Amino acid sequence: MKPFVYSANPARVIFGTGTIAKLPEEVKRLGLSRPLVLSTPEQSGHATKVEELLKSAGISCVGQFNGATMHTPADVTEKALAVVQAGNVDGVISIGGGSTIGLGKAIALRTDLPQIVLPTTYAGSEMTPIIGQTENGVKTTQITPKVLPEVVIYDVDFTMTLPVGLSATSGINAIAHSVEALYAQNGNPVIDLMAAEGVRALATSLPKIVSNSSDPDARSDALYGAWLCGSCLGLVGMSLHHKLCHVLGGTFNLPHAETHTIVLPHAVAFNAPCIPDALANLAKALDNDDAVDGLNVLLSKLNVKKGLKEIGMPEDGIDKAADLAVKNQYWNPRPIEREGVRELIRRAWAGEPAR
């Protein structure tokens, strides 16, 4: 076995169905008496359920801030901070996907307030010390334990309303975290176990959700897989796939989860010659003889878009993205040379099968 370093992030995770019932206990355990509930405008109904539950347990919230939006823009964070200060808030409760969780992290970064997170997608931000923020159109990412939530409550009930399309793409976004963890430079055997199990759980449950979005067992398995994959993202470094999605999303304003979904098989195919052990692990988790084929088959079962051209990337963006991909060098199992990465991007743009 290769030598390795394993460092875990502190985490308190409560998992199950109906686990929101544990929220008042967790609020009291953290000593909060003036929490603020965060959500997107679309999920204000979920935020109201949280507020009502706390009220019935004798905890009065300062209220709700329902302005969370994609990419954690600085002006939204400023508005939320004004509510935090005016209400003398002593903790935030984020209910939603990566966008709402990002806002909670942005508040924690500036105030050190504790966060309780109820994730409702599979993107995995709740398990990471990573925060991406946007100011003047520029997205910057930093890694700091200050943004790690104090408590994560996974309640399957809140994922039942996640639309099928977003279930599929945010599930593949989660799988991408595990895939890159399997070949991470700072990977280790514990991460490999979590990553393979996360892929297996999502790859078996997502097709079931696509055919019946109300299947509680499939929803539960998917959320369990999302937790494992999110943990992997929080513990080891990511490579070409994540960097490329960051470049593509930022440069062409593409939707986050769909971009990950389209790029993933192509990034794995590009790295394939240099990651034999990771490919074997991934193939096994996907129950296929070949990892890239396993991803192609999974995506075809999920009825997701296959080409970046379908989600708004212009054809002349292929060269621009290839230039940016080689410009910002970072560790990747296969050296990133322009011709190879351009072909990867071209295939992903056109929606050709990865190979």
Indicate the residue among 32 and 169 with the shorter CB distance to ligand NAD.
Answer: 169
231 binds ligand NAD (CB under 6 A): no
SS (H, E, C) 344-355: HHHHHHHCCCCC
Task: Read off the DSSP letter of residue 73.
Answer: B
Helical H segments across the chain, by residue range = 23-29, 44-56, 74-86, 98-111, 164-182, 189-211, 216-235, 240-252, 256-271, 276-285, 291-301, 317-327, 338-350
The position carrying tokens 């292929």 is: 318
For 343, other C-beta atoms within 10 Å of its C-beta total: 14
294 binds ligand NAD (CB under 6 A): no
User: Which residue from 125, 188, 231, 271 is in contact with ligand NAD, where contact means CB under 6 A?
Assistant: 125
| Least separation in angstroms between CB 299 and ligand NAD | 17
Asked if 349 contacts 313 with a C-beta cutoff of 8 angstroms, the reply is: yes
| Least separation in angstroms between CB 126 and ligand NAD | 8
Indicate the residue among 49 and 284 with the shorter CB distance to ligand NAD.
Answer: 49
Indicate the residue among 64 and 125 with the shorter CB distance to ligand NAD.
Answer: 125
User: Which residue from 84, 172, 176, 257 is in contact with ligand NAD, where contact means CB under 6 A?
Assistant: 257
Q: Which residue is nearest to ligand NAD (CB)?
A: 98
3-state DSSP assignment of residue 141 = strand
CA distance 332 to 123: 22
User: Which residue from 67, 73, 91, 97 is in contact with ligand NAD, where contact means CB under 6 A?
Assistant: 97
Indicate the residue among 239 and 347 with the shorter CB distance to ligand NAD.
Answer: 239
Measuring CA to CA, how many Å separate 258 from each of 6, 81, 141?
Answer: 31, 30, 20
3-state DSSP assignment of residue 337 = coil
244 binds ligand NAD (CB under 6 A): no
Task: Read off the DSSP letter of residue 286.
Answer: T
| Least separation in angstroms between CB 72 and ligand NAD | 7
Which helix H or strand E contains 184, and what residues bound it? none
128 binds ligand NAD (CB under 6 A): yes
| Least separation in angstroms between CB 280 and ligand NAD | 27
Side-chain-side CA neighbours of 79 within 13 Å: the count stands at 12
Indicate the residue among 102 and 187 with the shorter CB distance to ligand NAD.
Answer: 102
| Least separation in angstroms between CB 342 and ligand NAD | 25
User: Which residue from 35, 73, 91, 98 is in contact with ligand NAD, where contact means CB under 6 A?
Assistant: 98
261 binds ligand NAD (CB under 6 A): no
Indicate the residue among 32 and 124 with the shorter CB distance to ligand NAD.
Answer: 124
- Site residues for ligand NAD, window 141-200 (CB under 6 A)? 158-159, 161-162, 166, 170
| Least separation in angstroms between CB 42 and ligand NAD | 4
Helical H segments across 112-239, by residue range = 164-182, 189-211, 216-235
User: Which residues in 121-155 are b (16+ Cβ under 10 Å) and which e?
Assistant: bbbbbbbbbbbbbbeeeeeeeeeeeebbbbbbbbb
64 binds ligand NAD (CB under 6 A): no
User: Which residue from 61, 103, 131, 181 is in contact with ligand NAD, where contact means CB under 6 A?
Assistant: 131
How many residues bind ligand NAD, per CB under 6 A?
Answer: 29
Binding site for ligand NAD (CB under 6 A): 40, 42-43, 70-71, 96-100, 102, 120-121, 123-125, 128, 130-132, 158-159, 161-162, 166, 170, 233, 256-257
